[in-house]
Chain A
Amino acid sequence: MEQTAPAPPQEPEAISFWRTIVNYLFDVRFLGVLGQIGFILFVVLSVRTIGGNFSENVNKLGESQFICRDGSFSYRCAYDFMESEAGFDISDTVVEYTNTDSYWQAFKLGILNTLKVAIFGVILTTIVGTAAGIARLSKNWLISQIALWYVELMRNTPLLVQLFFIYFGVLLALPNINEATQFLGLPIFLSNRGLNLPSPQFTSSAPIWLAFLVLGIVQFQVVGIILNRKEERTGQATNRVGWGLISFLVIVGIGWYVSGTISDSQGLLVTKASRIQDVEDMERMMLARTGLNHLDDLDTLSEEEISAVALQICVLRDSPSETNLTGQLRRLGIPYEISRSRRPDQAIKKYEEGDCEIFAASKAVLAAERPTLEDPGSHLVVSVQEKPVVWSIPTREGFNIFGGAKMLPEFIALLIGLVLFYGGSLAEIVRAGILSVTKGQTEAARALGLNEGQRLQLVVMPQALRVIIPPLVGIFLSLAKDTSLGIAIGFPDMYAIAYTTMNQSGRILQIFIIMMLVYMLISLTFSVLLNWYNERVKLVER
């Protein structure tokens, strides 16, 4: 065999050069970089096209979109229009609002309304969902079947249809307000204009009492800690909750008495001639006026006679002074008639014209209004005793219901719809969470001698919560976002108000930007809070 020279190497440089190029070109990393550059180009180009069209269209609308207060044009003034008068009314207001307020104020109200629905919704959904989830696991076949069908019905029909059904089919089909349904004789009225409930009103001395309340809670904790130490030392069980509660109630009771006596901010404006120095004087006056010996005998008079002698009182609408005074008058059995005004100057005018004998308001208001009277010297301000918290109770007066807290049907419909819908989703999560705790845990807890309550509280729930919390975050976030469906039934949430503002002012882009920012802020806050809670209950891995 002939020895041949080894074959010359096949010019590796040339081939490997092209190979390298090709390899490089089709390498995933290179393609990734290429893809990113392409992506950036794509974004830039589409933004240019869309942005170009957009600015062209906006310019066609004129520079009115960016007009400043001084009438000049600048992009910095994009939000200046928000300070002008809103001009539309809002049916459901958390804080004072009139249609002469600015767009900012209206927008703020919208945010508050959204938060109101979201917070009530989250609380009620937790209750309804947990109840339904536990009912799904009930041993009673009927109850678990009812819960199952509730969950299925809620999960398989759209929320919006449910909302419409509740609003148009149920709430608006309720009786008119003059025939409002009353529950079991309690001062709770339900009609197609909404629900009227008794509500607490804070007078000016409430902060003092609230401070005592906080003190009481601290005291509760302190008593708990002290008794716990004692338990550990002596080994004898004590009634921690009971003692804590007693000390809490004592402190709160003292606070109630103290804040009631030291504060002196409620007053009545009366004429000197009436010789009223005190609320008790009114009783005397009433007796003189009716010629009776005792106010209990008022029943003997006819309705016309009573209304003829009734005290005429002027108050400001929704002020705690009214509730504070009428509560005391009712206790004394003095008949009265209330005339409500929106502003102090209207009330004082009525008082001056003799429409009412007494003007009840806070002393600050009275002191400011008294000098406007023709002869301030002949009138004086009398102190009225006050309680830190007074209950405003709805009462039927003619064709309307006054006092108390009022919930409009739109709010109720939105709340019920959201709570029922998300309660259905939550029920499934709660059920899955409880089922995820293995039977052995229950049995072990029983073997340790824990009772049913302790077993649920100490063994089952802490473990179930770990499974429940993460999907819960998602549900609550969806609930907060779905409050925007209120626009379909006329609830003035942030979205509805933004929409009205948009239609009135024509500033679409500006409104959309702040709206999105607020929604993102709400979502972010919710998820941060719930994730923080999730971290707390999460299983600490070994």
Chain B
Amino acid sequence: MASDPQWMGYHRADGAVGVRNDLLVLSVAGLTGPCARRVAAALPLAKCVTMPFGGGLLGADRQLHIESLIGFGANPNVGAVLLIGSDVPKVQLIAQRLKATGKPVAAVCLDDCDHDVLTLSHRALRAGADLLHEISRNRRQSAPVSALCVGLECGRSDPSSGLVANPLIGLLTDRLVALGATAIFGESMEWLGAEHWLAARAVSPTVAQALTSAAARRASLAQAQGEDLLGNNPGPTNIAAGLSTIEEKSLGAVAKSGTASIQGVLRMAERPSKPGLYAMDGSAYSPESVSGFVAAGAQLVLFSTGVGNSYVSLLAPTLKICANPQAAAVLRNQLDFDASAVFAGHSTLHNAAEALMLLLLEVASGTLTWGEILNEGDEVVSRLGEAL
């Protein structure tokens, strides 16, 4: 491995570097999702994010909604943003925050179109076409690894995940963080049983406390609904597969985070303030979890799976990494990296990490993932409670 690897990306006005150069058609209201999809369908190069809610949100829900919208738009992979919304103040709030990044932003509102969605669609389509033309002039230039922020996820795990794929991601994370990059792992439910290890890696007692509190809060949330995350864990299937204790199961999951110091605990969609490794306190369900990373600025996702998992981020190319030989053989057009040689005893984690680093830089520089080719991507924002 070269000592100072570089990749080719799109340098943005705010200093961030994108691994893609997308026009994001972003619906900021539940009402305007269909219009955003219509406009994006007419502009096949655009990517479209909609969500079926927006009005009447309260407290943490409202904060997460706004931070996610701004976060998707501000993600370095997005070259320009077309905002489509209902009421002018909300659209303008988000537009102003996004314009501060220096990227081109256009905004259209139902309020400005006499509430005629056809007028809205027409204006949005013209604005989107102009933005696509503008960002097509951007070119890739050399960028350091320190410009990368990587999300770390696992889904549909099996014994090969905890033994090979997650430790492999952990090795790569250590290398990325040592080179000055940022990495975010989430799924705080899975910290239960490994909190002591995570807390020992925290940069401060405050961060250590935040890690243990986040795991305990997930356990309480489950308990309040009659589910016990600690008793009967590992379950009979886990035990038959060789897992003996909750510590072992959790360590296998959080092995993705490697061994670096943990700089902080982020809310869903919260942007890290400086480089390094971060923990995000969020849902363990991949679509919500990964979208939290992407809204926080992740340009790439390292995603391990055992039996296969088709979900990828829409905005952040997602590398599917698998060490299960059967899945690796069958899911040829889903999995981007085959680590099954390690699981079969033919290769080492270190050799696999070197090969995966090369693939990561290749994908950062433009090579497509299977998820991008098959258009499997989505972004979704968690809902935490009821609306007014």
Chain A partners chain B: no
